[in-house]
Amino acid sequence: MREQRASLPGSIIAWVVAFLMFFPILWMLITSFKTEAQAIANPPLIIFRPVLESFAAALSQSGYILFAENSIIISLVSTALAIAIAFPAAYSMAFQPGKRTQDMLVWMLSTKMLPPVGVLVPIYIICRDTGLLDTRTALVIVDMLMNLPIVVWMLFSFFRDIPKDILEAAHMDGAGPRRQMIYLLLPLASPGIASAALLAIILSWNEAFWSINLTASHAGTLAAYIARYSAPEGLFWAKLSAASVLAVAPILIFGSLAQRRLVRGLTAGAVK
């Protein structure tokens, strides 16, 4: 079969769209290597002598390491917990569905449509009463709950690709649900689990609302770190850009490495 090749106009359009989408990140990167005076120059400077002073300021002034450490721990732990809870839930929904399974799946997804600010006060009070304000534990729990519907949906889509007969054969051989999940489903669905985990890590990393509202000086993530560079009466465009580069670089590199798997995960079930 002949390989289908993209047309030239199509390729050009794709490149232009890709460049437009990438341009803000590129501009942020360029600005981060400017001085504050160069950053506000009008017309904007394209050719200039790059300096690292904004990075030095962003790293030394505002405790980048603590925020980065919080981001890493919170995104990894919340994702691990979300997978641990979503895995048996998706197994049950995919292989032993009840009358209300579909409704439950839709309801789970509908919780994502709730504006977070609508539940800010109750969650804030719960955190206050349990002593979890400004702790990583609070953000782990909130991020885990926030990502759970998407992780369940993704795992559910992957599990539906697995022939039921395999699990039935195992059942005939005396394997209970726990053994089926561990010895059959886990190896078979590992690409799907990895995709779901990658997406959950990225979503958790980028989460800003709860990170800003539930933390103060100890448990803020890199999203809160960037927010501090927005000033009503200060000119910090270069520092803001440098801080943003420092905040998005880890997840950008991580996302690029995991791109193929991520795309497969996001499009799972979409072509059926």
Partner 1 sequence: MQRPTPASLPLAAALIAGLSLTPLAAGAATLTIATVNNPDMLIMQKLSPEFTKETGINLNWVVLPENTLRQRVTTDIATKSGTFDIVTIGTFEVPQWGKNSWLAPIGDLGPAYDLNDIFPSVRAGLSYKGTLYAVPFYAESSMTYYRKDLFQAAGLTMPAQPTYDQIAKFADKLNDPAKGVYGICLRGLPGWGENMAFLTTLVNTFGGEWFNMKWEPQLTSPAWEKAINFYVDLMKKDGPPNATSNGFTENLALFSTGKCGMWIDATVAAGVLYDPTKSKVAADVAVAPAPTAVTPHGAHWLWSWALGIPKTTHQLADAQKFLTWSTSQSYIELVGKTDGWVAVPPGTRQSTYKNPDYLKAAPFAPLVQQMILSADPEHPTLNPVPYTGVQFVGIPEFQGIGTTVGQDIAAALAGQTTVAQALAKAEASTKRAMTEAGYLQ
- Name the site residues for partner 1 (rule: CB under 8 A): 36-37, 40-42, 61-62, 73, 76-77, 80-81, 83-84, 87, 120-121, 124-125, 128, 133-137, 140, 181-182, 186-187, 212-213, 216-220, 224, 227-236
Residues with Cβ within 8 Å of 235's Cβ and at least 6 positions away in sequence, in order, are 36, 39, 40
* CA distances to 105, 109, 167, 261 from 266, in Å: 17, 15, 25, 9
Q: How far is the CB of 4 from partner 1 (least distance, A)?
A: 39
Residue 9 vs 43, nearer CB to partner 1: 43
- Report CA dihedral (43, 44, 50, 52) to the nearest 10 degrees: 120
Q: How far is the CB of 255 from partner 1 (least distance, A)?
A: 20
Structure tokens at 89: 């839930």
Residue 29 vs 184, nearer CB to partner 1: 184
Residue 124 vs 254, nearer CB to partner 1: 124
Three-state SS at 226: helix
Residue 10 vs 191, nearer CB to partner 1: 191
Q: How far is the CB of 252 from partner 1 (least distance, A)?
A: 23
Q: How far is the CB of 62 from partner 1 (least distance, A)?
A: 7
The rounded distance, in Å, linking the Cα atoms of 240 and 237 is 5
Q: How far is the CB of 156 from partner 1 (least distance, A)?
A: 17
What 8-state DSSP symbol labels residue 174? T
In the chain, the amino acid numbered 166 is I
Residue 9 vs 232, nearer CB to partner 1: 232
What 8-state DSSP symbol labels residue 44? P
